């Protein structure tokens, strides 16, 4: 019964200094998908992850201290795919996939469009291209778990102040429509499927004591193929883990 965690650590080196390894040991997940690692493997003491019992796979951005994704797996994957085959995104270290016998896990870090202009255009282009990538992949691998920081709140329930953020990147109508269409294409938002309650968020601004006041956004997801739905046992957000401006999210598949 694999338990998977996705965590935008906002710099794995910074998170390690805040006790991340001890937290990971206690959590003991089968797979941990990391986003925004902000490190090349040669900048890390990799024995830390081996001591936790993980095979570890890193796909870093070419630019140091930026973006980057990783997968930590207790079971050795049959295959690891670095990138999605599109140079613009692979240059930024945004997608890594591990294939197991009856499912595959993707750790994905969607672009942020908060600086507007060029980066928002880049984000919208990524959404289209990522959808095409997943559509092709699904033909080959029907049981997909697409975990990561999507940088989009899907519904009003996923953001603390929907009215004032309706023109903000991360809650724009075209971004939200993309999530709806992604789900309609054969995926399930595992957390929302099991939990219909408001005030569950996975990211908080560092400003204005947003986390203490729970003024957050739910932008991190485990999207699972509909074929895995009968095996979905648990989905949770873990806000008590405080190594980042995000918190980890968990899903358990039977």
Write out pLDDT tens, residues 115-161.
Answer: 889 999 999 999 999 999 999 999 999 999 999 999 999 999 999 99
Would you say residue 170 has pLDDT above 90?
Answer: yes
- What mean pLDDT is predicted for residues 86-110? 98
β-strand pairing of 104-109 with 144-149: parallel
- What mean pLDDT is predicted for residues 236-248? 98
Written as six digits, the tokens of 214 are 């729970």
Sequence-distant (6+) residues with CB within 8 A of 186 are 138, 225, 226
Would you say residue 86 has pLDDT above 80?
Answer: yes
pLDDT at 183: 98
pLDDT at 115: 86
Q: Which of 30, 149, 158, 189 is catalytic?
A: 149
- How does pLDDT run across 54-70, given as a tens digit for each residue? 999 999 999 999 999 99
- What mean pLDDT is predicted for residues 7-11? 98
pLDDT at 70: 98
174: left (phi over 0), alpha (psi -120 to 50) or beta: alpha
- What mean pLDDT is predicted for residues 77-96? 98
State the CATH number of the domain containing residue 183. Answer: 3.60.10.10
Q: Can you give the residue range of the structural domain that contains 212? A: 3-253
Instruction: Out of 1-5, 74-78, 131-135, 227-231, pick the least confident.
Output: 1-5
Supply the mean pLDDT for the chain: 97
Would you say residue 1 has pLDDT above 80?
Answer: no
Please give the Cα distance from 19 to 183 (Å, whole number): 35
- State pTM to two decimals: 0.98
Written as six digits, the tokens of 36 are 């925004």
- How does pLDDT run across 24-53, given as a tens digit for each residue? 999 999 999 999 999 999 999 999 999 999
Q: How many domains does the chain have?
A: 1
Count CB neighbours of 138 within 10 A. 16
Chain centroid, CA 250 distance in Å: 11
Q: Please say if 90 is a catalytic residue.
A: no
Chain centroid, CA 192 distance in Å: 15
pLDDT at 116: 83
Q: List C-alpha distances in Å: 208 to 70, 193, 204.
A: 31, 31, 10
- What mean pLDDT is predicted for residues 234-251? 98
Please give the Cα distance from 126 to 129 (Å, whole number): 5
């Amino acid at each position: 019964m694999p338990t998977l965690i996705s965590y935008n650590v906002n710099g794995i080196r910074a998170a390690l200094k805040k006790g991340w390894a001890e937290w990971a040991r206690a959590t003991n997940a089968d797979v941990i998908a990391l986003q925004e690692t902000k490190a090349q493997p040669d900048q890390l003491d990799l024995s830390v992850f081996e001591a936790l019992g993980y095979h570890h796979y890193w796909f870093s951005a070419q630019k140091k201290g930026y973006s980057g994704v990783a997968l930590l797996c207790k079971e050795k994957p049959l295959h690891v795919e670095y990138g999605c085959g599109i140079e613009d995104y692979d240059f930024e270290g945004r997608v890594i996939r591990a294939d197991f016998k009856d499912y595959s896990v993707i750790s994905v870090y969607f672009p942020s469009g908060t600086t507007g202009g060029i980066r928002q255009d880049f984000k919208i282009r990524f959404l289209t291209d990522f959808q095409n990538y997943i559509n092709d992949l699904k033909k080959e691998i029907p049981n997909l778990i697409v975990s990561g920081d999507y940088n989009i709140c899907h519904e009003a329930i996923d953001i603390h102040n929907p009215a004032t953020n309706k023109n903000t990147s991360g809650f724009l109508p075209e971004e939200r429509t993309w999530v709806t269409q992604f789900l309609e294409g054969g995926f399930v938002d595992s957390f929302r499927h099991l939990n219909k309650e408001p005030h569950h968020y996975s990211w908080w601004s560092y400003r204005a004591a947003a986390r203490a006041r729970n003024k957050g956004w739910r932008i991190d997801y485990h999207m699972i193929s509909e074929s895995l739905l009968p095996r979905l046992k648990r989905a949770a957000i873990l806000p008590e883990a405080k190594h980042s401006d995000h918190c980890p999210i968990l899903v358990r598949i039977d």
